[in-house]
Amino acid sequence: MKRTILISATLFLILLSSGKAQINLIGAATPNTGGIEIVTWDALDSSSAESYATNLTGYYLTSSVFDAYNGKYYLAGLTETSQGLFSFNTRTLEQNITGYTSFSNITEIDMSSGKIYNITADSLEYYSVNEYDIETGEDSLLGVIYEP
């Protein structure tokens, strides 16, 4: 019995140590050549880094989020001619930019619902709370906050 437990424990440790890490990272970077690249890498493995060129010329800092359920990385980006919500699919490497431009310093992306929630100042003391569905492109007003 002791031998069976010892062999099982040894096999478990060998399998555990040979498994690949599941932590993958993604971000936007500005290379020396200019423009913006999307960079992916595995945690604790700098040799796994891969870069993908984009047509972005800039992006809003702290405006990105990774949706692990569908493998998409979202970023508020700028090109030479437009700005909007940039998406990069890590599975297909497809890139897209939509016309969503309502980012503010109070913007959150809910990864479980795929929606963006945003608070903007409409006028003095009035703030709008909006919801944007990334998949359908539908933008809707949830309500207005009055804060004197």
Read off the pLDDT of residues 104-144 as tens digits, 9 standing for 90 and up: 767 787 877 878 888 888 888 999 999 988 888 888 999 99
Do residues 38 and 51 touch, judged by C-beta distance below 8 A?
yes
Strand partners, 78: 58, 83
Residue 29 has pLDDT above 70, yes or no: yes
Q: Which residue has the higher pLDDT, 68 or 98?
A: 98
Domain-embedded: residue 53: yes
The reply to whether 86 and 111 lie within a common domain is no
Residue 128 counted as domain residue: yes
Number of domains present in the structure of the chain? 2
Determine the average pLDDT of the residues in 17-37. 76
Backbone CA torsion sign across 104, 108, 111, 116: negative
Range of the domain at 95: 21-101
pLDDT band, residue 21 (cuts 50/70/90): very low
pLDDT classification of 93: cutoffs 50, 70, 90: very high
pTM tops 0.95? no
Q: Is the pLDDT of residue 147 over 80?
A: yes
> Which tokens belong to 115?
């929606």
42 and 85 share a domain? Answer: yes
Same structural domain, 92 and 109: no
Flag whether 42 is in a domain.
yes
The mean pLDDT value of the chain amounts to: 82
What pLDDT is stored for residue 65 in this prediction?
79
In Å, the largest CA–CA distance within the chain is: 76
Together in a domain, 109 and 136? yes
